[in-house]
Amino acid sequence: MIFAASTFLVLLPLAGLPIVFHLVLKQKKRTIVFSTLMFFHRVDPKLNSHRKIREWLLLALRVLMIALLLLALSRPALRSTVGAGGKLSLVALIDNSGSMTAGAQDSDLTKLECAKEGTRQLLMSLAPAAEAALVLSVEDATAAVPESLTADRQALRECLDRIGPTEASGDTHRALARAFALLRQTTAGGGAVHVFTDLQQAEWGEAAKRFEAREDRIQVILHRIGTAPRPEANVAVTGIQFPEQRILVGQPYEVGVSLRNNSSGTADIRINCINGQGAKSTQNLSLQSQQVTTVRLPITANEQGFHWLRAWVEGDGFAADNAAGIGLFCEGIGAVLFVGAPAQFGVLPMALSPGGRGELTGLATQFAPALQLDPAQMPLLVVTTWEWLANGTANTTTAMKYVEAGGNLLVVPSLSRGSAAAATQTVDGLGAGLRARETHKSGVRLEILNRSVPFWRQIEPIVGDLSAEPIAAYAFCPLEFPSGFTSLLGAGAGKIVLAQRQLGQGNLFVSGLAFSSRWSTLPLSGLGVVMVQRLAVCSRPVRAYPETPGSVPAQTSHILPLVAGERPSAWPAGQETEILSLAGDPLEWKGRPAQAPAFARTGVYLATTGDQKCCISVRASDKEGEDRFLAGSDVPILGPVDHTVVAFDPDSDYTRYHAGQARVIELYLPLLLLATLAVLFEGLLGTSRVRSSAGRSSPVAGPVLMGRET
């Protein structure tokens, strides 16, 4: 027996109230003196016995009426495993992960199509009164799955038609927990879960997420759908490498797409790319077994704002792990501030911005005699001279605050007459110094140092081999600095002419080489032009200072990479978030961040929370291409939960599964009917008692009435 509202069972003792009233309010006898009892002896003794029987019947009916009413309100139900009088509760869990898009064994359908057809047959085998629900292993907003058990078969069939392929890994533990929760809410407290899946190892073999408690009232039947052999090798997208530097208008950048051949044979594929501006590209590749490679995709933003790329692999044997959506943010045209006169910097301003306004490079140059920063418009790069910094401590303090806030500072020798250092020149607070200038008429070859640092990694894809073009230095000032700096360029043994130090959120570059053709051939080379332009964009976005600890600056933009099937979780709580689709599935969603949907397919989405924007890049799950499936009857993630694994059969008679499953017979209406009958009988007995009392008469009215019990 199961009670849906067991609280009313606590009130069952109230059914004894009529007995209490009968005992407490029972009439008391008192003695009255009569002259004779002859009239009482003439009364038939059967009348008294009939009256007592009727009173006990009335008392029993009143007790029974209250007890039946309380039992009916407690909503009792009987569980039964046989017969058709009960109501069956069932949940169909459909594995709609990316692996289900592959072909099914011995079938022309995909595994997902087989799962949908099996679920459709299962629903048709149910009695009209049976309730059912659908649960997906990958949350998919386009499917609009009902949130509760229902007997509406038409709504469930329409939902089945909306379920489509995904590129995500399923959250099996979440889906099973959801199915169990639906069945626990039924009057039976249980039922059956039918799972249609390929039992991929990555999702069903996770022992770390196993259920630890038994579900005694729930039976799990897993219908294993076999996978057809793949005729071709499989290549999966395993990651996205976003540009490490800031993106400006007109500058060329590259996005890396990592690929892996998961098969035992060679894969000959094509990787296609299209961006938001309509530009397309295709690259042919050949990958050996288990080979990992990174394909570079070029992109140049022509305006400020968010931009996207979509890349996908063609020519392999499995498509659900082949695509990636890539979102980028272009900051527009950045400012470069030169502190000093233009003549002090040689051709450096022209290398950064030929026209001065950023039309070609995305960098606009400005000149000022002092470093005065506007927190609302912070420059990307500040260029100054050793001489200016050495003139006052205040200059160095202001420059260091700027770097710590996220800016890039480049310090170069001045080209003004008489400004060359004749001896070692140290700037307090900078942590670096400049030795006396050396000259070499025949030139000294400049050498690239520490090629693995991010600075050179950003440049090499653009210029190619960094050592291909020899660069000679005719004049330079060797640097002096402690171990906190990273050497970038050297001129001879132990002589460093360019070094970098990360300070706070920005970068400090110190140079002993002026950007003039009289000092070196660097300004005349492609490497020199690219190098100075990358100085401006190699750090994170500049934040205004001073900054409140823990605060988030307004109007900052973020890139959030996700794998299909994941949901974002790094947004400010308590604010409403709006998500719009830039590329991929059409999506318009608004709500609290905690309720944000999971992304079932690849694409690029723009999320806005207050004044913060986040570009979400979703790639396919590379786990879905793995040909590893559970072979036995034990499913690790279910743990102690009773489960059975059967081979999927498109012609299966699903009614055979219902015979052993719990059915529910609700007793609410029968108990309510019995309580109503008790009320009717009590009324009839009460009415007959009144009639019989009124119909009885005494031979001598006065003495009999006075002699009654009071």
Q: What is the mean pLDDT of the chain?
A: 83
Q: What is the pLDDT averaged over residues 249-258?
A: 88
What string of DSSP letters covers 34-67?
-S--HHHHTS-HHHHHHHHHHHHHHHHHHHHHHH
Distance CA 356, CA 654 (A): 76
Nearest to 253 by CA among 508, 501, 410, 457: 457
Of 585, 603, 619, the residue that ends a domain is: 619
How many helices and strands, by DSSP H and E, does the chain display?
15, 32
Number of domains in the chain: 4
Which residues, at least 6 apart from 287, have a Cβ–Cβ distance to it below 8 Å?
235, 259, 260, 261, 266, 267, 269, 293
Q: Are residues 159 and 198 in the same domain?
A: yes
Q: What's the chain's Rg over C-alpha atoms?
A: 42
Nearest to 497 by CA among 472, 524, 466: 472
User: Do strands 267-275 and 218-224 pair parallel, antiparallel, or not at all (unpaired)?
Assistant: unpaired
Answer yes or no: is pLDDT of 418 > 70: no
Q: Which long-range contacts (CB under 8 A, 24 or more apart) does 497-505 make?
A: 497/446, 497/473, 499/432, 500/453, 500/455, 501/431, 501/432, 503/400, 503/403, 503/404, 504/403, 504/404, 504/405, 504/406, 505/404, 505/405, 505/406, 505/539, 505/540, 505/543
Residue in this structure with the two tokens 């038609």, named with its chain if needed: 161
546 cis-preceded (ω within 30 degrees of 0): yes
Amino acid letter for position 500: Q
CB 514 within 8 Å of CB 473: no
CB 515 within 8 Å of CB 347: yes
Q: Are residues 432 and 567 in the same domain?
A: no
Answer yes or no: is pLDDT of 597 > 90: no
Answer yes or no: is pLDDT of 411 > 90: yes
Q: What is the pLDDT of residue 46?
A: 55
Q: What is the pLDDT of residue 571?
A: 63
Amino acid letter for position 206: E
Q: Are residues 657 and 676 in the same domain?
A: no
Which residues, at least 6 apart from 220, have a Cβ–Cβ distance to it below 8 Å?
176, 192, 193, 195, 638, 641, 642, 643, 644
Lowest mean pLDDT, pick from 160-164, 552-556, 580-584:
552-556
**Full-model pTM:** 0.71
In a domain, 250, yes or no: no
Residue in this structure with the two tokens 């890349």, named with its chain if needed: 311
Of 478, 499, 534, the residue that ends a domain is: 534
Higher pLDDT, 268 or 243: 268
User: Do strands 280-287 and 643-647 pair parallel, antiparallel, or not at all (unpaired)?
Assistant: unpaired
In a domain, 387, yes or no: yes
**Percent above pLDDT 70 for the chain:** 84
Answer yes or no: is pLDDT of 401 > 50: yes
Q: How confident is the model at residue 420 (pLDDT cuts 50, 70, 90)?
A: low
Q: What is the pLDDT of residue 660?
A: 54
Q: Is the dihedral of CA 635, 638, 640, 642 positive or negative?
A: negative
Q: How confident is the model at residue 685 (pLDDT cuts 50, 70, 90)?
A: confident
CA dist list (Å): 487 to 427, 505, 518, 600: 18, 19, 23, 46
Of 476, 503, 534, the residue that ends a domain is: 534
Q: Are residues 204 and 344 in the same domain?
A: no
Distance CA 451, CA 453 (A): 6
In a domain, 496, yes or no: yes
pLDDT in tens, 422-432: 456 677 778 88
Lowest mean pLDDT, pick from 46-55, 180-189, 698-707:
698-707
Give the HSE-up count for residue 458: Cα atoms under 13 Å, Cβ half-sphere: 22
CB 685 within 8 Å of CB 61: yes
Distance CA 306, CA 613 (A): 10
Q: What is the pLDDT of residue 139?
A: 92
Answer yes or no: is pLDDT of 546 > 50: no
Which domain, by its residues, includes 444?
334-534
Answer yes or no: is pLDDT of 51 > 60: yes
Nearest to 119 by CA among 231, 223, 241: 223
Q: What is the pLDDT averaged over residues 433-444?
A: 89
Answer yes or no: is pLDDT of 573 > 70: no
**Percent above pLDDT 90 for the chain:** 39
Q: What distance lies between CA 41 and its chain's CA centroid?
A: 92
Higher pLDDT, 282 or 374: 282
Q: What is the pLDDT averaged over residues 241-270?
A: 88
Q: Are residues 358 and 439 in the same domain?
A: yes
Higher pLDDT, 233 or 663: 233
In a domain, 327, yes or no: no
Distance CA 620, CA 316 (A): 15
Q: Are residues 452 and 352 in the same domain?
A: yes
CB 299 within 8 Å of CB 276: no
pLDDT in tens, 458-489: 788 778 887 777 899 999 999 988 778 999 99
Q: Are residues 447 and 528 in the same domain?
A: yes
Q: What is the pLDDT averaged over residues 680-698?
A: 63
Q: What is the pLDDT averaged over residues 334-362?
A: 89
Q: What is the pLDDT of residue 700?
A: 42
Distance CA 169, CA 564 (A): 7
CA dist list (Å): 230 to 18, 238, 265, 284, 319: 78, 20, 12, 21, 12
Pair of tokens at residue 494: 């132990």
For 247-291, strand residue ranges (E) read 252-261, 267-275, 280-287
In a domain, 94, yes or no: yes
Domain holding 406: CATH number? 3.40.50.880
Q: Are residues 493 and 586 in the same domain?
A: no
Pair of tokens at residue 222: 């897993």
Pair of tokens at residue 611: 């004044």
Distance CA 417, CA 259 (A): 56
Q: What is the pLDDT of residue 277?
A: 85
Q: What is the pLDDT of residue 693?
A: 54
CB 79 within 8 Å of CB 662: yes
In a domain, 298, yes or no: no
What string of DSSP letters covers 423-456?
S-EEETTTTEEE---EEEEEEEEEEE--TTSHHH
Q: What distance lies between CA 614 and its chain's CA centroid?
A: 14
Give the HSE-up count for residue 662: Cα atoms under 13 Å, Cβ half-sphere: 24
Answer yes or no: is pLDDT of 257 > 90: yes
pLDDT in tens, 157-186: 999 999 999 999 999 999 999 999 999 888
Q: Are residues 513 and 582 in the same domain?
A: no
pLDDT in tens, 308-320: 999 999 999 999 9
Pair of tokens at residue 215: 């579900």
In a domain, 346, yes or no: yes
pLDDT in tens, 106-165: 889 999 999 999 999 999 998 888 899 999 999 998 888 888 999 999 999 999 999 999
Q: Are residues 41 and 100 in the same domain?
A: no
In a domain, 120, yes or no: yes
Q: What is the pLDDT of residue 701?
A: 42
Answer yes or no: is pLDDT of 703 > 60: no
Q: What is the pLDDT of residue 338?
A: 94
Answer yes or no: is pLDDT of 637 > 90: yes
Q: How confident is the model at residue 36 (pLDDT cuts 50, 70, 90)?
A: low
Q: Are residues 66 and 100 in the same domain?
A: no
Q: Are residues 471 and 612 in the same domain?
A: no
CB 340 within 8 Å of CB 369: yes
